[in-house]
Structures are given as C-alpha cells and as structure tokens.
Amino acid sequence: MLAIALDVAVIAAGLGIAGGSLAASCACYQSSIPLELVVVGLALATASIFGILGVYRHVVRFFNEHFLRELVLAVSLAAALVATGWYALFDAPWLALYLLSVLAILGPFLTWRITATALLKMAHYVERARPIRVAVYGAGVGGALLGEKLRREPGYQLVTFIDDNPELWGRRVYGARIVGPERLRELVLAKAIDQVIIAIPSASVSRRRELLNKLAELSIEVRTLPPIEEMTSSRRAAEEVRPVRAEELLSREPVKPDLASIAQELKGQVVLVTGGGGSIGGALCREILRHGPRCLIPFDSSEFNLYTIDRELQALKQRSGYDVKIVPVLGSVLSARDVDRVLREHSVDIIYHGAAYKHVPLVEGNPLQGMENNVLGTYTVAEAAIRHGARKFVLISTDKAVRPSNVMGASKRFAEKIVQSLNETGCETVLTLVRFGNVLDSAGSVVPLFRDQIRLGGPVTVTHPEVTRYFMTIPEAAELVIQAGAMSERGGEVFHLDMGEPVKIADLARKMIHLSGYKVRNESSDGVGIEIRYVGLRPGEKLYEELLIDGTGEPTQHPRIFQARDAIASWVDLEPQVETLRNAIENGDVEVVRRLLCDIVEDYRNNGAFARGAVSAHSKPAAE
C-alpha cells in the first residue's frame, strides 16, 4: 500500500508539472474543475491501471522481462487515458499530449524506485561494514563471466584480475586492472583483498595444485569456479563459486584407463559390490555402471546407505541412458543365508568385496566385532563365490594390512591370507586382492573432520607432527580397483595402487586452514587464527603406512598399478584357524582371538598394541 500511495503522489506531481506547463503555454484551460483535482484524479486512475495489469505483483529491484512487459502495457494505457483527458481540456495535438503523459508517468515512477533501491543497497553495505573485496585469478572467458556477475552483485567488490600472461598486464576488465601473479601478496595487503577466486576452468590438475600451494602461503580465503559449461547466467556469483576441495591439493594428473580391458571384464556381467553403500563401494558402483554390466547389485547392511546409493545410481542411469538392471540388496556379509540367496538368485559373475570395518580406533576398541566382520565376512563371501561358480572375487584391502600395528590392519591381512589360500584350492573362481591407502573425503577420513573443525573456529586436531599418510581420490581408487581386478587371470595376486607421495597430515591441516582465509595460531606472531592441536597417536596407530610387505613391487601394464608377491599360506593349515576364530568370537573369548591373530599375522605379533594386551574396549574414536 505504501508503494501505491507513493506512486499516486509522485505521478500526481509529474502530471501537475505537465498540466501547469500546458496551461501556461496554451492559455486555454477549458474547465471549471480546478487543475489540481484533475491531476489527482488522473494519478489515481493511473495507479488503478497499474494494479489491474499486475505491475504491483513484482519486486522492482529484481528487474526482469515479465515486469518490463507489464509496465510498458500499463504505462501505454494510462498515458492514453491521461492524454485523452488533456485533449478535452487543452488545445493541443493528442500525440504530443500522449508523449508528454508517458514522460510525466514513467519518469517519477522509475525515479523513486531507483532511488529506493540505491538506498537499500547502501543500507546493506553499512550493515556488512564493507563488501567482500575479491581478486579474480584468470582474466580469460571464465574470469570475465565471473567479473561481470561480481560487478553487479551487492556485497562484493571486484578489485583486480591476476593473470600469468604478461600481454594482459595493465589492461582492464569491467574497470578492474589486470596484474601479474608476483604482485598478489602486495595487493592482498595494500588493497585489503578478502578473497581470491580461481577462474581458470581449463587448468590442468598439476597447474591448479601448484597455484593452490602458492595461494596457501597468503592465508587468504580461496574459492574456485566450476567449468564454464556449468556456469549459468541466472546464478549469482556467490552461488557459482565453491570452496577449494582437499583433493585439489593432493590429486594427480589422471591416467587414461584401459577401457577395452575394463569393458571386456564388465560388459554384460552380473556384478555384486558388498559394502555398496559406503564411500569406496558407492564409487565402485558408479564406475561399474558406466561400463555396461547386465545387472549391478549394491549389497549393504545399512538401509540408509543402500537407499542413498540406489537413488543416485537410478538417477545416473536415467540421465545417461544406461541399460543396466540395478538391484539393491539389504543384507550382511556375516549371513551365509543372505550371501547365498543373492548369488543363487542372480547368478553373480564378479564380486567386489568392499564391506569392512575400517576405522582404526573403533576396531581397536571392538576387536571381536572387527575380526568377525573383516575376517569371517570375507570368508563367507569368498566361499560362497566359489560354491556358486562366480567367475571372479576381488577383495578391497588396505595399506594398514602391511606390517600391521592395529586390529583393523591385522584383520585385513588375515582376510588377504584367506583369499590367497582359497585361490590355491583348485577352484574355478579367480580370487585376487587390491591394496591401497586412504581415500579423500571417505567416511572417517581427516578431510571432513578438518573442514568441520575449521568451520567451528578450531582447534584442528592432528595426532602427531610427523604422521604421514598416502591419499587418493575416491573416483581414482574405484577406477584402479576395477582395472587391477581385470588384470587378474589366475588369481592370488596382490595388486597395490601407486598412491603417489605420502602427505604429512599437519601440512594438509595447515593448507586447509590457510585456504579458508585463516592463519595458524601456533605460527602467528599476533596469536590470532586457528590452532593446530597435537593430541597424540591413538591405540594401534603408526606414524607411517606401507603398501608392500617385502618392499618390492613389479610393474604391470598400467603405470599406477603394481603387483606384489606375498607368501601364500596353505588352506589346509588356515581353515582350522578360521574355525577357531569363529568359535572364539561366538564365545566372546578375546584372549583366544588375540593369540590366534598373533600366530597368523607374524608382523602383528611384533608391532601390535593388541598383541601387547593394550586394547581398550572404549577407545575414543577419531578420524583416520
């Protein structure tokens, strides 16, 4: 109502000025009604027309073509009405009166709204103290598109562009000067830049990583732009850019997979993925779906995880047109009945066994459950695969199985021995295993933990200043697992993935803090920033992880997959120990399980906290 009242007032003022000018120039006002009343009546009529035609349904500061269309129609009709009224009162041409009426109505109508919008923006700036001052790294097409959005978006101020091309230095884009990268540190201080947005969608992985490492030294918030094809004209700049992901700090240039061998492995096959709702299992399902199996079966004991991955796979199938039957199965790898049913009903060809408890402190505090799930669960699925004639069984293992110092790693080494031993029994099923280290952003990894701790203002908790880990992105791990599985011909192999260089966890925490725009308080002279707090190694945790038991690995046809040769135990010797483990778990006899694990996994006997009897049933969980 306030907007309508203001419209009547300003339009009446405009029409009053126009009417006074006509009376003065024509000197022939032909009515006994005072001009002021005529002007008010015409202003009320104009506001009524605006209301009938829907002008007041729009928020004018969000200007769009629908509002423009309705405004043009309303002004045209109102001006025609006013001009007709003027024509009866003044001796002047109707067309001239019509054009004068358009100006008298539209001018005041837009002027007060533009003024009000400007005042609202000023109030917004005052409320925020000042806009976010942004430097855009990259003055190409992506940077220009982003700069155009920033220029007209409240709350942001485009300060400068940074580009590696010297030919662009000194030029301007949307009024912002382009400078070289060597001036960035100076500009951050001199221009009080709050945020750097990387707008180089075509940059290689190594180039992006190099750039992020350089920016991490500045303790300034860094965000990135999506690929140009994902950018939209309607989305605001604040919605377009995203925070830097940890995998961008650690990932490597992709290696093209051998698509022919993967297609030969998976096309037309029935594929079962145990733990299919987990981080690695879900990534395996997504990757397998792309290669044309006849049927894909995610198998998981978590209803929510299974529901989530099924929804995602069905959407991916519909979006990409894959002709694959997807059958989510809720079940446990500890239930021979569940496993037998799915293998029998679907005649499964290939099994990727990813179901396992992987969280070191939790398994350390719950050794019976960890051994049951990781060892007996593996045996249940592998034995059923052989009995039902599956073509291949691939165990997803871990670097923590190499010279293990914790229950989780030792349980996975026990599972590896079972798979290798069963493969030597003369069965037709090919059983093999793939070993790799940590995956970024998986459940329980340090990355989401650090991200949450930074968001809450710290402290960021690291176990030890020297602790290092191997990292790989989830999609790369899934692709290489499938590639390695396809290489296995006779079974029993231990494939291990090239994890790249080990990463010091403290350095990762430091870079994540810096790229979020904060200093590390421990290293800041003014004591401001986010603290890195060292909390000590947890039960069973090692400073360094390894991928090979004997320290050697043979190359394969894929540059990031190697093959190890581990000693293989006889199934005749191992089978009684599996049954001993089963009985001890049923009886809840931790001491028998402890001795058995030490006997079977020799390195654990020397390294393990469990072997020394130092396991707590209530170890405090923390991210691995």
Beta strand pairing status for 195-198 and 221-224?
parallel
Structure tokens at 413: 């080494």
Question: What dihedral angle (degrees, nearest 10) is formed by the CA atoms of 265, 266, 272, 278?
Answer: 100
Catalytic residue set? 400
Determine the Cα–Cα distance for residues 376 and 381; give it in Å rounded to an integer: 9
Question: What dihedral angle (degrees, nearest 10) is formed by the CA atoms of 182, 187, 193, 196?
Answer: -10
Determine the Cα–Cα distance for residues 477 and 498; give it in Å rounded to an integer: 10
Determine the Cα–Cα distance for residues 154 and 261; give it in Å rounded to an integer: 53
CA-nearest of 571, 572, 578, 552 to 563 is 552
586, burial (CB in 10 Å: exposed 0-12, middle 13-18, buried 19+):
exposed
* Cα-to-chain-centroid distance, residue 121: 32
DSSP 375: I
Determine the Cα–Cα distance for residues 213 and 207; give it in Å rounded to an integer: 10
Q: Is the separation of the CB atoms in 255 and 328 below 8 Å?
A: no
C-alpha distance across the termini of the chain, in Å: 60
HSE-up (13 A, CA, CB side) for residue 225: 31
Structure tokens at 19: 């009417």
Residue 526 CB coordination number (10 Å):
7
Determine the Cα–Cα distance for residues 289 and 303; give it in Å rounded to an integer: 21
